[in-house]
Amino acid sequence: MNEFDYIDKYFRPLTNKFAINLKNDAAIFNQKSSFDLIISTDTLCEGIHFFGNENPADIAKKSLRVNLSDMASMGAKPIFYNLALSIPKIKASQFIPKFAKGLQDDQEIFGIKLIGGDLTSSLKHINITITIFGETVKGKSISRDGAKIGNYLYVSGILGLSKIGLDNFNSNSKEFEESKRKYLIPQPRVDLGIELKNIANSMIDISDGLIQDATHLAKNSKLTVELNLCKIPLPNIKNLDRKLILDSALYGGDDYELLFSCDNSHESLVEQLSDKMNLKLTKIGVFKEFKKGFLKFKNNTSKPKNSYLHF
């Protein structure tokens, strides 16, 4: 099969009316005047973001879900996406059908469609780039720069599982099954992001580790965030040292939980939302006037380390 055959058989069925059946060089979308269009792009590279020997359906789901998490962090409803896939010719016939099935499964879960993209060959590694589009009511998206002095910092879910899953990916122990699944297929908090539109005043998804992403919120808001290490929601894995688990939560990344600030008067609303969604929302810090650094630990003089950086 050539690239056009792959597109016709596996990717055209994933599209909607805006793609115009992939007949043109670009999609056409008539934007609603009362909504803002929210756009984000992420690239996943074999050997960096995934091993390459995983089930292609799982790779597809991770690729789409990390982009969905960006929509969640803005409080946006995802509506469609573009896909650019570069793959060695020798891998295409085995990889693409399963990859497309993974996309189809998640499109049904998250109510999103493919509208276009590009399929090319590469020399050695698989590279996947998705540009995702979402929408919010005009002026209602949530940015990273809205935290105020005295605001609380909250996080969804449990932190550290993805890094633990990555570190123990080849283990056959049952105690790592949940963490490996978290690494393979993250859970984007799209519904939570939308629910937080009238509660959160700054928000980010945790892709690069709690420390780095909390620092982003503080830096963009020109404040210092004080983290309470005793309040970080951690997994219970009996055979792992607590310090290792805490470090995984602080610096590991790829958790794709939502980190958000809100006024302390909204504390009861956050508790109600947690009950409503049956999702743990934990208060882990507070924003203060900037002093000497964007992030510090409460009652702890140790200095934060750097999370993962590409360069």
**CATH number where 225 lies:** 3.90.650.10
- Single-letter residue type at 58: D
- The total number of residues written for the chain in this structure: 311
- % of the chain with per-residue pLDDT over 70: 91
Same domain for 201 and 133: no
Residue 289 lies in a domain: yes
- What's the confidence (pLDDT) of residue 271? 97
**pTM of this structure:** 0.90
Residue 272 lies in a domain: yes
Same domain for 75 and 49: yes
Q: How many Cβ atoms sit within 10 Å of the Cβ of residue 184? A: 19
Residue 305 lies in a domain: no
CB of 63 closer than 8 Å to CB of 131: no
**CATH number where 109 lies:** 3.30.1330.10
| 2-16, 174-188, 226-240: segment of lowest average pLDDT | 2-16
Residue 145 lies in a domain: no
State how beta strands 35-45 and 152-156 pair.
unpaired
- Rounded-to-integer distance, Cα 62 and Cα 65, Å: 5
CB of 252 closer than 8 Å to CB of 162: yes
Same domain for 157 and 287: yes
- Tell me the residue range of the domain where 256 lies: 152-297
- Rounded-to-integer distance, Cα 94 and Cα 100, Å: 11
User: Over 70: is that where the pLDDT of 25 sits?
Assistant: no
Same domain for 174 and 120: no
- What's the confidence (pLDDT) of residue 1? 78
pLDDT digits (tens, 9 = 90+) for 131-144: 999 999 998 999 99
Tally of domains in the chain: 2
> What backbone torsions phi and psi does residue 117 show, to the nearest 5 degrees?
150, -145
CB of 113 closer than 8 Å to CB of 20: no
Vertex 74, ends 226 and 15: CA angle to 5°? 145
- Rounded-to-integer distance, Cα 142 and Cα 136, Å: 9
- What's the confidence (pLDDT) of residue 80? 93
Same domain for 12 and 65: yes
- What's the confidence (pLDDT) of residue 299? 78
